[in-house]
Structure 1
Amino acid sequence: MLDVPFFRRPPPALKGETVFLRMPVLSDHAEWAALRDESRGFLVPWEPSWAPDELSKGAFRHRLKRYRAEFDKGTGISFFVFDAPTEALVGGITLSNIRRGVAQTASIGYWMGERYAGRGMMLAALQLLIPYAFEGLRLHRLEAACIPDNKRSVGLLEKAGFQREGLLRSYLRINGSWRDHYLYALIAKEHHVPVLEPRG
């Protein structure tokens, strides 16, 4: 059963010392498009193929509608990551494919603008998102998949406490090719949070 009452609340904002997370709004488009465009070569090897209108305002508006629909249905929540001191957009992080019932699981995905990579900002974002997922959403398990060659992503997940569980063969179509992915997971009790009964 979906946690409908929770998802009828206003979207959350998660605030830390170095970064803060909030759902994107239409006025973020110009900054988002500029950051993604300048980081294209850095991001493309690890992402699904970009559409011809990937960075257009119309495509961004459609993206926001999808984010809001997923949030309202309780199946996902997408955040932009901002540098706390400057309020500059630095990347994005998403909880998707939220499964309730006997699973209580979600998948994590993320991207970072090239100029901000290597500064610990995505680790800080994960450290905000993980307690929200386990305590706020009462999830039991978080999963993340990354291409084995993506050393930054492997290092990030391991620093955040995720455990590698196996190799998913030909798992996702990335930049036009089916790619193997490592599967990583984190369980609530491993993150030292109270084990909470799911709502609903």
Structure 2
Amino acid sequence: MPAAPFLQTPRTRIRLPDEADAAVLLRYRVENKAHLTPWEPLRATEYYTLAHCTQTIVEAGALAAQDRGYPLLMFDPDQQQVLATFTFANIVRGAFQACHLGYGAAAAMQGQGLMQEVLRAGIAWAFGELDLHRVMANYMPRNERSASLLTQLGFEREGYAKRYLQIAGVWEDHILTALVRPEG
């Protein structure tokens, strides 16, 4: 079983959340609600409560313990503020050794290269410690920031899925991309 990550980049500390982080996670969700709503599934009102944040954290620990997913938070260096999130989800082992990648950054962190910084560290961990072969990431065609980010990270387009995910209450098309672990 892979160890839970504690990764560092020049501007962040990346780790699984623990229950003491519930209030900080809630602040991130509330402060970034308007910014993230167009890119996420519809959220029930309870999503923006301390109880739901605590539940999310407990579930994150269970997913990691089962090696089924790693929902990670990116904190500032003092670990007092969540700057971004990313998740290696739907991990499949055996002959596939792959997962899906989802991510989001605080509105205040947009355009500063933060996601590229943290995803480089995270993907290195996924290909190393997790021993994954493929990381897949999908984005809506109008999401130019995600398209640019994934291209910069080396993801390659593999397909186009009509009405792939329900985002903000609408079934949205997605461009399917993947990054395969380099040989050697």
CA distance in 2, matches of 1:152, 1:184: 14
Q: 1:25: Cα distance to partner?
A: 1.7
Contact 1:18 1:85 in 2 (8 A): no
Equivalent position SS for 1:136: coil
Match of 1:173 among 166, 171, 176: 166
Note the alpha carbon deviations across 1:29-73, whole angstroms, 9 max, x for none.
222222221221110000010111112111112111211111111
Match of 1:24 among 17, 20, 23: 17
CA distance in 1, matches of 2:82, 2:107: 12
Contact 2:18 2:58 in 1 (8 A): no
Consecutive unaligned residues in structure 2, runs of 5 or more: none
Contact 2:19 2:58 in 1 (8 A): no
The equivalent residue for 2:131 is 138
Equivalent position SS for 2:159: strand
Note the alpha carbon deviations across 1:62-87, whole angstroms, 9 max, x for none.
11121111111111111101233775
Query: In the alignment, is residue 104 of structure 1 matched against residue 97 of structure 2?
Result: yes
CA distance in 1, matches of 2:70, 2:45: 25
Structure 2 counterparts to residues 30-109 of structure 1, below 5 A: 30-84=23-77, 88-109=81-102
Consecutive unaligned residues in structure 1, runs of 5 or more: 1-5, 195-200
Match of 1:187 among 171, 174, 180: 180
CA distance in 2, matches of 1:67, 1:38: 21
CA distance in 2, matches of 1:131, 1:86: 22
User: How many residues are matched?
Assistant: 184
The equivalent residue for 2:110 is 117
CA distance in 2, matches of 1:73, 1:38: 31
CA distance in 2, matches of 1:52, 1:103: 37
Corresponding letter in the other structure for 2:69: G
Contact 1:169 1:179 in 2 (8 A): yes
Corresponding letter in the other structure for 2:142: D
Corresponding letter in the other structure for 1:36: R
Which 10-residue stretch deviates more, 115-124 or 84-93?
84-93
Contact 2:13 2:79 in 1 (8 A): no
RMSD: 1.5
Corresponding letter in the other structure for 1:83: D
CA distance in 1, matches of 2:62, 2:91: 13
CA distance in 1, matches of 2:154, 2:75: 23
CA distance in 2, matches of 1:85, 1:35: 15
